[in-house]
Chain A
Amino acid sequence: MDVHASLRGVTRIYPARAGRPPLHALGPLDLDLRRGEFLSVVGPSGCGKSTLLDVVAGLALPSAGTVTFEGQPVLGRVPEGIGVVFQEDASFPWLTVEDNVAFGLRRAGTDPAEVRRRVDYALGFMGLADFARAYPAQLSGGMRQRVCIARTLVLRPRLILLDEPFGALDQQTRLLMGDELLRLWRETGATVMLITHALDEANLLSDRIGVMSARPGVWIETVQTGWPRDRDSTLAARPNFGAVSARLWASIRGESIKALGQAREGAGR
């Protein structure tokens, strides 16, 4: 097995703050992310999914344990080769779509002709070519998220981390964006880790789904979907699609109830 990124004994504890006790958000957990796979992580709200992504990306340091990417330790700085797409709109509102997409390349000092070539490709790939000169404010939420994906795509990351990137979109747009994401994954050959709370979305997109417990998040199950690499949203019509989603829900239901209790406790504090 070709391991692309790996976590060993990773724990994340937020220190005590403003009279509140320390918060054990995550772990300890292990993970081997295989090169080229599409892994989704599902779990109840507040179970530490986004914290996990931050730790893998190098945006946050684990309180204990180690993270490696391509054999090198990740030490609180995002390594070259990792791209992240967030749930929130992270497009730069003061830049046009093409300048947004070119931003990272220009900052990295890439040759202008190469920037042009890659930006044109990414805009075409994400269906944004006609909006190159538009500002994000002139686009819909889905298109802005595509700008963010294109901005990640041009940097040619070998590991793409997605933190509920379609969370703010309507169901139909989510399905179509999912198709685009699958196409992107196939064409780039990148490893993808998707954080989502949508079980059907995880089922549709993934080779493997990691199910996390309520806080502190640890693995409770890993589900292999067995879908072919060349797939799209029509997969949802397959008879065994529902069975995978049902299995995920059976696995996560008790944890979601527990998480709801934690949330109520937190609100009452």
Chain B
Amino acid sequence: MTKAAWIRLALLAAAIGGLEGACRAGWLPRTAIIPPTEMAAGGWRAVASGELNEDMAQTFSVVAIAIMVSLAGGFLVGFAIHGRPRLRRALDPFLGAYYAIPHFAFYPLLIVLFGLGPGPLIALAVMFGVVAMIVATMNGLDRVPRVLGKTAQVMRLTGTDELWRVRLPAALPHLFAGVKLAIAYSFIGVIAGEFILSTKGIGHAIAFAYDNFDARSMYGLILFVLLLVASVNLTLHTVEQRLIQRRSR
């Protein structure tokens, strides 16, 4: 582990330890926040008891679908726009301003369009994630050296082969920024959507605990979601670093 990683770990441990101490000493009201050890215990209990299996299944399946649609859709749309410079110039201001839009405002419309099931949640999460992937795809393809495209032509690859065998792998390290954002945004979209409007899912379970002053379950589930997203991000970061390392000259 690098020195910077040790410092990061020490800072995190200090923050958790400080919060634990402050809670135990009674400096922070227990109605507002509980010690991290109790959060962990609450999260473990909620997950291990099996009470949340249905909620977790709903959340993870919706997140997985949203991620797949965001990544695949974002890549294909990004690729299509990349190949049309005029369209790209026309769309650039919209893409730049996209994340200023309050996406949740569209939730009623999404319910009208997709019904009361997981459809609106998937749509909301995709709305969050897909544009990050579109932008990352275009930026990634910008960085693919022209000579690789020429090499593909010399090898007489078809357009599809060139895309999958040359352009996509060449752009992959640059796409990772989009992949990470699309995954994070998909989680945010789904959990936040469930929190406000769903009757199932981890977001709903957190909201339910909040409404019932069940701080242990609420913080436990928040911690669970945090750890989950952090683990996914850490895995992606490791893969990204390996890719960059393999290619850095």
Contact = CB atoms under 8 A, between A and B. Distances in A.
Interface stretch (A20-28, A80-88, A119-127, A225-233): A80-88
A135 B145 contact: no
A181 interface: no
A108 to B, nearest CB: 8
Contacts of A247: none
A90 B150 contact: yes
Contacts of A89: 145, 147
Given A92-B170, A94-B170, A103-B155, A135 B147 contact: no
A77 B165 CA distance: 19
A84 B150 contact: yes
A104 interface: yes
Nearest to A96: B246
A78 B147 contact: no
A107 B155 CA distance: 8
A198 interface: no
What is the predominant secondary structure among interface residues of chain A facing chain B? loop
B150 A135 contact: no
Contacts of B23: none
Interface string B122-163: 000000000000000000000001011011011111000100
B110 interface: no
A223 interface: no
Contacts of A135: 246-247
A137 interface: yes
B45 to A, nearest CB: 45
B67 to A, nearest CB: 23
Interface residues of B, number: 21
A184 interface: no
A92 B145 CA distance: 10
B3 to A, nearest CB: 25
B153 A59 contact: yes
Contact of A88 (B145, B172, B243): B145
A107 to B, nearest CB: 6
B86 interface: no
A93 interface: yes
B169 interface: yes
Contacts, number: 58
A94 B148 contact: no
A94 B153 contact: no
A57 interface: yes
Contact of B156 (A77, A86, A90): A77
Interface string A31-59: 00000000000000000000000000101
A78 B166 contact: no
Given A78-B154, A137-B249, A92 B166 contact: yes
A107 B151 contact: no
B153 A86 contact: no
Given A78-B156, A137-B249, A94 B169 contact: yes
Contacts of B212: none
B2 interface: no
B248 interface: yes
Contacts of A92: 148, 166, 169-170
A94 B246 contact: yes
29 contacts: A57-B154, A59-B153, A80-B156, A82-B154, A83-B154, A84-B150, A84-B154, A86-B150, A86-B151, A88-B145, A89-B145, A89-B147, A90-B145, A90-B147, A90-B148, A90-B150, A92-B148, A93-B170, A93-B247, A93-B249, A94-B172, A103-B155, A107-B157, A135-B246, A136-B249, A137-B247, A137-B248, A137-B249, A155-B155
- A-B pairs, top 8 by smallest CB distance, nearest first, are A93-B247, A88-B147, A104-B155, A90-B147, A94-B169, A90-B151, A84-B154, A137-B249
Interface of A: 57, 59, 77-78, 80, 82-84, 86, 88-90, 92-94, 103-104, 107-108, 135-137, 155
Given A93-B246, A107-B161, A155-B155, 19 more contacts: A57-B154, A77-B156, A83-B154, A84-B150, A84-B151, A84-B154, A89-B147, A90-B147, A92-B148, A93-B247, A94-B170, A94-B247, A103-B155, A103-B165, A107-B155, A107-B157, A107-B165, A135-B246, A137-B249
